[in-house]
Amino acid sequence: MPGPRLSSRQTVLLPDVDPFYAAPAGLSSAKPGDILRSRPVPYPIAAFNTAVVNLKGAYQILYRTTDSNGQPEAAMTTLLIPYNANPAKLLSYQIAEDAAYSGCAPSFILQKSSTPNATVSQAEIILIEAALNNGWYVVTPDYEGPKSSYVAGIQAGQATLDSIRAVLKSSSFSGISVKPKVALWGYSGGALATNWAIELQGSYAPELSFVGAAIGGLIGSIENVLETINKGPFVGLAATGLMGLYNEYPYFATYLEEQFIPATAETFKSVLRQCLGVSTSQFSGQDIFSYFKSGAAVLDGAPAQKVFGALNLGQNVPKMPLYIYKSINDQISPIADADNLVNYYCKGGAAVEYKRDLVSDHTSLAITGAGEALVWLEARMSGQSPESGCSTDTVISTLLNPEGLALLGTTLVECLIALLGVPVGPLSLGTLG
């Protein structure tokens, strides 16, 4: 089912103007994870905004979730179904949206002809296709919610968990099992959402069960990231992150408004209308604190410390097995933050396999580390027991794992084949006929 054709006069509606995304009346009476409405995706799922991905099915599901302030909200998630799917296996894949603008949400940018400005996020279809070719159902939530609350971890974690709840209630149209094996995977901004989901699961969604979670390039401390990336090539993430928190927390928005230098405030706020690539280019090399009256001391104000304190990971020990991979040279989030978080998890009795990569950086590990992460996820989905306790290995490169390297090569080849319109999923004569 390649999907509906898109004529030259049709455009994919932005979430802010598409009435399907709007919260229905009576939202507060719905339970977290309840399906509010659903539909087949309006336009085909496409790789890099152009090449249609031939799926058995793809659905958008609007569901009830809870924001960081405890308020009900409606969020969107996208469920992808391959040919020859195994309804007993579900992967929740959190895309690194890394934007404070709804035009960068996964449910929007995964559709053909949506936007050419979200290439980094759209590239993650490669890893999603790898999971689909295993026959897994894959769901990818708009975990930032309707306010585009980038780096708002509580929002992201709860929206991720409620997305899974919603998918488990979708069997009438998706065909998924009511009790599938469920795993999570995310890198960078997607790791942040995944990490918050696993820490919140015990209190927010205790009925859910997971076989494991793979987390790459994790973000342990938002405040440390802001200081690490300042004046560097990725400082645009700082502007986007601060405005994502501006969108989520009214008291923090008031604080930033008081701190903005009037002459440059609108330049800073431009991230509210653009995706990751544009923001990165725009702010590259700048001193992000030059936009504030207090300079770097803007991070020391009580409202800033309040929000950062709430958003530091390491508040709850996850109950599921974890595979964590991180570059020692990560130029966005310090390796020490990952080391400290893993140490906290291990002291709390979690099962963690931790790989510290010597030669990669934050960007390259997204690809070079994916093969071994997928190998680990496949083992969990197939019912193999993870290693007990914790292990930490510092390796030259996760790419040197033969099994992971072979799987990564297969993944890239399958992605290229998928660009030709070949059905995505475990091969059979039926799908090729």
Q: Which residues are catalytic?
A: 188, 330, 362
- Strand pairing category for 72-81 and 136-141: antiparallel
Q: Is the dihedral of CA 131, 136, 137, 142 positive or negative?
A: negative
d(CA 271, CA 236) in angstroms, rounded, equals: 8
In a 13 Å sphere around the CA of 37, the CA atoms on its Cβ side amount to 12
Residues comprising the chain, all counted: 433
**C-beta of residue 261 within 8 angstroms of C-beta of residue 291:** yes
Task: State the Cα–Cα distance between residues 81 and 288, nearest whole angstrom.
Answer: 42
Which residues, 6 or more positions from 58, have their beta carbon under 8 angstroms from its beta carbon?
3, 40, 41, 44, 45, 78, 79, 80, 81
CB contact set of 210 (below 8 Å; sequence gap of 6+):
182, 183, 184, 198, 201, 320
Name the token pair of 227: 């200081």
Task: Please choose, from the candidates 112, 137, 132, the residue with its C-alpha nearest in 3D space to the C-alpha of residue 5.
Answer: 112
